[in-house]
């Protein structure tokens, strides 16, 4: 069945990111002559570096060719990636590239898809980078080195470009990548270790400031002089360093200061969105043994895993009835709070509250159901499917 080509509002526009796109077409390494590539009928843009930005969108491409065109452009930036689609619906997406102070900013927006990235071995030092990812729309999961960061709009995470990593989302999403050379990042963070796949919340404080500055860098990239761009990047990295430092210091000295139970609960609350959160990780973070951790929860008449599940369910209950989360699907909400499987989430929710999540939500919003809610719920890829082994 051929789906009609229906113009869509770009995700960046729906995320309040103003994009004065210069070119709609396929990124090209050679000088633009204004000619058309007859094999694809996509107008070639000018070379990277000769314009304020480069842009690609599937809006004007036949539906059957959209995915291949988007992947072709994405691989020019991302290199060796294994992509996987979640739904059999018309694909749509866009890619925008800009530079500021010599650093690349790339805005990716697309339908639901996942990917595994496999960097080449033994990268030259000058090619090693830290990718700072800012989530502009939707909920997306990032995995690297055994850590998981689940981001919603406003959140930030960091990825080491030299190590394998993966990313997954349930629906439309947009994210902004800032590629920072590893040496530059390390020099600005000084004695702070660069974390991998750790969520920096954009819900308040410095995290919110970091988010707004990232979007401003993108919006104003073409309007700044080189000196202004360098100053803006320096300010951004300084705030990023403070955000990372705050998250590293939040627990204080292991074994000292706060009561162990208080430190455990604080760590759990701050990492509740990470599906890989485990007793061993919690115990190691607060400086106690796993056995002692289990004793602390046994005194409360529960277990570590039951406590974590109950806290996640309470947050899902709150979000499902929150008008600010009305545009998110049930699966996206569950995914954000650490549930990998929608069927397991639905069963746990009904067991805990006595009502299934869909029925509970319809109590609050009986008059409407979003299109993506009517679609078949996605069973999220569990950690085994999102592993980092190379595809055959």
Give the Cβ contact number of residue 289 at 10 Å.
11
Give the pLDDT confidence of 195-219 residue by residue, as tens digits. Answer: 889 889 898 889 999 999 999 999 9
CATH code for residues 260-374:
1.10.10.60
Regions of the chain short of the pLDDT cut 50: 1-52, 250-256, 368-392
Cut 0.85: pTM above it: no
Domain limits, CATH 2.60.120.10, in the chain: 11-249
Dump pLDDT digits (tens) for 232-286: 999 999 999 999 876 555 444 444 456 888 889 988 988 888 888 889 889 888 8
Rounded CA gap, 109 and 95, in Å?
Answer: 6
What is the model's pLDDT at position 79?
A: 79
CB 151 within 8 A of CB 337: no
| 93-120 per-position pLDDT tens digit | 999 999 999 999 999 999 888 889 988 8
**Confidence (pLDDT) at 87:** 64
Architecture of domain 11-249: Sandwich (2.60)
């Amino acid at each position: 069945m051929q789906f009609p080509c229906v113009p869509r509002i770009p995700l960046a526009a729906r995320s309040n990111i103003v994009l004065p796109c210069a070119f709609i077409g396929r990124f090209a390494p050679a000088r633009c002559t204004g000619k058309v590539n007859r094999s694809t009928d996509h107008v070639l843009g000018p070379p990277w570096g000769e314009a304020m930005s480069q842009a690609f969108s599937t809006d004007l491409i036949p539906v059957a060719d959209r995915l291949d065109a988007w992947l072709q452009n994405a691989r020019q930036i991302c290199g060796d990636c294994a992509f996987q689609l979640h739904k059999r619906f018309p694909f749509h997406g866009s890619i925008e590239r800009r530079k500021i102070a010599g650093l690349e900013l790339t805005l990716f927006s697309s339908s639901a898809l996942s990917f595994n990235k496999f960097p080449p071995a033994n990268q030259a030092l000058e090619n090693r980078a830290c990718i700072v990812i800012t989530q502009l729309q939707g909920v997306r999961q990032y995995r690297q080195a055994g850590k998981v960061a689940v981001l919603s709009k406003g959140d930030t995470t960091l990825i080491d470009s030299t190590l394998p990593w993966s990313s997954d989302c349930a629906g439309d999403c947009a994210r902004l990548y800032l590629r920072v050379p590893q040496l530059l990042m390390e020099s600005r963070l000084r004695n702070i270790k660069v974390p991998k796949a750790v969520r920096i919340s954009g819900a308040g404080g410095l995290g919110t400031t970091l988010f707004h500055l990232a979007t401003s860098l993108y919006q104003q990239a073409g309007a700044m002089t080189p000196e202004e761009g360098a100053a803006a990047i320096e300010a951004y990295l300084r705030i990023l360093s403070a955000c990372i430092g705050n998250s590293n210091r939040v627990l204080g000295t292991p074994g000292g200061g706060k009561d162990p139970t208080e430190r455990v609960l604080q760590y759990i609350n701050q990492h509740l969105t990470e599906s890989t959160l485990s007793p061993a990780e919690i115990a190691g973070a607060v400086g106690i043994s796993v056995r002692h951790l289990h004793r602390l929860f046994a005194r409360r008449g529960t277990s570590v895993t039951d406590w974590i599940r109950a806290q996640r369910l309470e947050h899902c209950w709150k979000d499902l009835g929150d008008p600010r989360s009305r545009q998110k699907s049930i699966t996206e909400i569950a995914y954000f709070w650490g549930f990998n499987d929608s069927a397991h989430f639905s069963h746990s929710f009904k067991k805990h509250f006595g009502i299934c999540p869909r029925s509970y939500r319809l109590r609050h919003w009986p008059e409407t159901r979003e299109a993506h809610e009517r679609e078949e719920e996605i069973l999220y890829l569990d950690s085994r499917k999102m592993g980092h082994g190379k595809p055959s």
